[in-house]
Chain A
């Protein structure tokens, strides 16, 4: 398709690369632009004025600004999975093949049927959500909200996973500078020359800030030359880092700053192995905010007509991009700075229709310019704009004194003065202060280490920007101790400042304050009449400043209008709280690398890759991947595999990787005394070479964790925790060691990753071990009884630790070897165990066997159970102080009617049990009042050939044999179960001692 001609591109000039033409599409039409354009400047160069429809009323909108404050020109950028809604055309860099679409219009931008909303505008006034959709309440979710979201709203999300990658990085510096305008560059020069480590962030792709469009003379040379010389000097300083395309969006405690770098947003897609965006956390000792100022609109009827544009943006498009938003321009200003647009436009050969200046004292020089160029200077204000989706046609003016005038123009530049960008300086709940001489809010203090300079500090003149920036940069370098010479500061003259306050021109027709949220001056007046006088209330009631632009162009005008109608001054009215981020930041950037499989780090056991070779099914257990079961060919479901594994263990031998248990070396002369304080039972009297089951409480008396701890030497215990609590228990024990009992000579080290540990269980366990363990080691009961623990030699010279402990109820050992031998150990166990039918088993079979044996685990150690609830009340020593001992004796924790662990089995042997069901006495109506507990763990027991479970039931142990009712409202199940001894299997323990 042939590109449309760039009808609004100047023949020469601008900072675009005319040797690099680019094609792009907007709403399906192909256009041409140049390298160095933004989407907005390229659209302007092609004469496109209408770029979007407004949020509520679907009014036609054009481009208002040339920066990240843009409220109107939001587009859907890119297509398919990369489609990104609400992207500002004013900051989107043009690339070849760029595709963008206008949003919030249907069926098309030019013929938007939703514009009918304008006819119903009375219902969309301030607070319309609250007034209109009050009743009936259930209609909100079903009808109102979806309808509003269709009609009002922003762009469409891609709806599919983002194909790009994002990452996060840290940076550290002495001096962080926000902005590369004259103040920022001067600050970087001073700080860099002093020897400080400097990072300068600039959100634009080009460096120079307003110098890029406004020029001026610095140190006797044109601004562009000074900028390039300055950048060249900064490039020679090794510790000065300039980051363009990077917005400093937030300041956090302790000198930590957030920045978003758009690494590859200027390309169709990131090059291979590169990220789209990078989130920076920058740690800076000092920060100089040289973020400039934002020109503010004046509120008047029709001020949202396409072709009405901020004066500074108008001249930016002309000077920087050689693109002409209009050919016959009117200017409406209340201040001196607006006239620069006239000078720029005339310089580019454009026509000036008129200047409407609200000030009485227009300078003689400007009057002379007007006379020379042949345009009128009208004292007064713009009262209305005639035009539509094709742009401005005519402007009507109220002249001072009451007369009216009309001027024909195809563009209207507006300048209501400048607001310093006070976001960063105010993010720690700082409130900017009103500075009367410039009629603007300026920073009033800043977070620790931060200072504002230049226009961000209310110093608008070029000379003042340079001197403030330079001084701030030098001071910021000095405080971290960099005393190198900052050299000579750059100098320039200040421009004249003159402004007459004008916020709102009364008139007929909608006069917009917040363009993006369609908040008008009359909305604010209405809200005030309805009592929303606090600026924070006004904001929430009207949604002023709550759109994606966060009110960068609207907030000050909004509160000025509120001040006027409530008869207060602007400082009395105040501002709302400023909060980061300064610009929208993609969630993907905050996630960085941590998505999909990389959402969190993963832990693998030493036998993981062997288990994967066996085709094991893995389950996520915290950060771990654990083998859940090992399916074999022909098995139809998990239950069949798990049943086989259980039967193989109970009749022969099997093994399971239990390396995930937390393992802690407890060393020192006081190790035993220390364990006595953290466990409810005593460990100081444990013999060397023995293991003991231990239970820890929280200080409030509830069970915290359990595990076996072995004494390997007089001053060395080896403590194990549950998989889930490995980290928390280590932290808890360090708290006990360092804070509670510092006098004890004990040292703790996590050795969780040092040991590969396997449980080997089943009647043939000893037969299998004999094949692996050195023949000199005696594994018989006399030499290695139940709960024995010691080091043994394995065949081949490896040392291992053997613990004769059993979770399954079978004759069992746990064997641990240094982790790098874990893989060899499983392979050798398989080889040596072939003759015994050795069977690897996973966490499901492990769970089945522990339920059969009545051992408690996570579902019972749930933070609400006491030792007695779990059947371990007698373990609790009465002869010593330990964590939780006093609170465990509280009346309620020792009450007779507590819910305690008991076994359950269905009266109908074929019935499947499910955990979570409530236990209700027979004959009572199920409900919260009649619930006496709940089912915690269930399994199909291959040994008993039926489902069994554990439950926490009031007085459960006294009620063995009672039939109760299981009520499962979640699944709609009701059935009877019998309360029984929780030890279903080998209650005498003969097998594990065998």
Chain B
């Protein structure tokens, strides 16, 4: 979504009454996500699930024969090259996440790199699609994060196989997801990130809670760009 501020307007109602209308963005997880503890509570939570709600997500796909132009446009725009293998690279306010051959995702804080701000830069080299509303972004961390994710993902997340910066276009519950490992958290634990399809998010969220319940889950949401 493009900004934290909630746009609104006033509507004239027949018979002189006036009503306020607004456009509050609603996360696909707004109903399912209940902040707090889930599952086992007698122990310190083994899983931290945080939904990040305020982001821009733009799919960038190279046009035929324009790989080199896209690479230079990317470097010019973000000061770093887009990964051409399954990795995620990041600067302070943006991540470039590999999502397939000759394509990547630009993930930034809400309002930062919108489809409008990027379309000019890539107009000659790539096709862009706005996916900011099409995904829910969940970060998974904690001592049992990898154990829990092993129930959902067939990907080997061992540090030697999936180090910091590794990314994968893969599936959970037969549903496509983007999975990448960010910098370790302050507790030294690995932090995994998931982009879920928005319409599947509630269902996959429940699957994640079921998988994590035995380890204790701490649930939050955040407007902060990780």
Contact = CB atoms under 8 A, between A and B. Distances in A.
A598 B1 contact: no
B94 to A, nearest CB: 20
A821 B151 CA distance: 33
A753 B199 contact: yes
Contact of B153 (A170, A272, A820): A170
Nearest to B64: A745
B22 A824 contact: yes
Given A281-B154, A819-B133, A796 B21 contact: yes
Contact of A824 (B26, B31, B198): B26
Interface residues of B, number: 61
A747 B14 contact: no
A197 interface: yes
Contacts of B150: 169-171
A752 B203 CA distance: 17
Interface in B120-162: 126-135, 150-151, 153-156, 158, 160-161
A526 B152 CA distance: 53
B99 to A, nearest CB: 10
B117 interface: no
Interface string A839-876: 00000000000000000000000000000000000000
Interface stretch (B71-79, B183-191, B205-213, B218-226): B205-213
Contacts of A274: 214
A824 B24 contact: yes
A598 B151 contact: no
A797 B197 CA distance: 26
A754 B133 contact: yes
A604 B202 contact: yes
The 7 closest A-B pairs by CB, nearest first: A667-B127, A796-B9, A795-B9, A745-B64, A753-B134, A754-B134, A172-B156
Contacts of A751: 129-131, 134
Contacts of A624: 199
Nearest to B57: A754
Contacts of A283: 154, 156
Interface in A163-194: 165, 167-172
Contact of A272 (B9, B14, B40, B132): B40
29 contacts: A167-B210, A168-B151, A169-B150, A170-B154, A172-B161, A197-B160, A273-B40, A275-B214, A593-B207, A598-B206, A600-B173, A602-B203, A603-B200, A604-B202, A609-B30, A659-B199, A745-B65, A753-B198, A754-B129, A754-B133, A754-B134, A795-B21, A818-B132, A824-B24, A828-B21, A828-B23, A831-B11, A831-B21, A835-B13
Given A172-B158, A754-B133, A820-B25, A605 B199 contact: yes
Nearest to A612: B31
B11 A832 contact: yes
A272 B42 CA distance: 11
A605 B30 CA distance: 13
A823 interface: yes
Interface string A653-673: 000000100000101110000
Nearest to B147: A169
Contact of B21 (A239, A669, A745, A832): A832
Interface residues of A, number: 62
Given A169-B150, A819-B134, A197 B127 contact: no
B63 interface: yes
A255 to B, nearest CB: 12
A747 B100 CA distance: 12
Contacts of A169: 150-151
Interface string A271-310: 0111100000101000000000000000000000000000
Given A170-B154, A745-B64, A828-B21, A771 B11 contact: yes
B207 A601 contact: yes
In this complex, the member of B132, B204, B210 whose beta carbon has the largest number of chain A beta carbons within 10 angstroms is B210
A569 interface: no
Interface of A: 165, 167-172, 197, 239, 272-275, 281, 283, 593, 598, 600-606, 609, 623-624, 659, 665, 667-669, 715-716, 743-745, 747, 749, 751-755, 771, 794-798, 818-824, 828, 831-832, 834-835
Contacts of B134: 751-754, 819
Nearest to A754: B134
A601 B204 contact: yes
A875 to B, nearest CB: 28
Contacts of B30: 609
A747 B19 contact: no
B59 interface: yes
A835 B14 contact: yes
A583 B204 CA distance: 32
A283 B8 CA distance: 53
A273 B39 contact: yes
A797 B7 contact: yes
Contacts of B178: none
A749 B59 CA distance: 8
Given A167-B151, A273-B40, A818-B130, A601 B214 contact: no
B1 A601 contact: no
B108 interface: no
Given A273-B213, A601-B203, A754-B130, A668 B63 contact: yes
Contacts of A668: 63-64, 127
A753 B197 contact: yes
Contacts of A745: 63-65
A613 to B, nearest CB: 10
Contacts of A272: 40
A719 to B, nearest CB: 12
Nearest to B38: A273
A196 to B, nearest CB: 11
Contacts of B24: 823-824
In this complex, the member of B39, B156, B161 whose beta carbon has the largest number of chain A beta carbons within 10 angstroms is B156
Contact of A197 (B65, B158, B197): B158
B174 A601 contact: yes
A716 B40 CA distance: 50
B193 interface: no
Contacts of A665: 127, 129
Nearest to A171: B150
In this complex, the member of B62, B156, B199 whose beta carbon has the largest number of chain A beta carbons within 10 angstroms is B199
B149 to A, nearest CB: 9
Nearest to B162: A172
A820 B133 contact: yes
A745 B102 CA distance: 13
Nearest to B202: A604
A820 B203 contact: no
Given A601-B173, A818-B1, A828-B21, A749 B203 contact: no
Given A753-B135, A795-B9, A796-B23, A598 B199 contact: no
Nearest to B150: A169
Given A603-B203, A752-B134, 10 more contacts: A167-B151, A272-B40, A593-B207, A604-B202, A715-B127, A749-B131, A751-B130, A752-B199, A771-B11, A797-B9
A665 B103 CA distance: 15
B28 interface: yes
In this complex, the member of B11, B14, B135 whose beta carbon has the largest number of chain A beta carbons within 10 angstroms is B11
Nearest to A660: B199
Contacts of A593: 151, 207, 210-211
Contact of A796 (B7, B127, B154): B7
A716 B61 CA distance: 13
Contacts of A754: 129-134, 198
Nearest to A716: B127
Nearest to A796: B9
B111 to A, nearest CB: 13
A655 B104 CA distance: 36
Interface string B159-195: 0110000000000011100000000000000000000
A579 B26 CA distance: 51
Contacts of B28: 604, 606, 819-820
Contacts of B61: 667, 747, 749
A272 B214 CA distance: 8
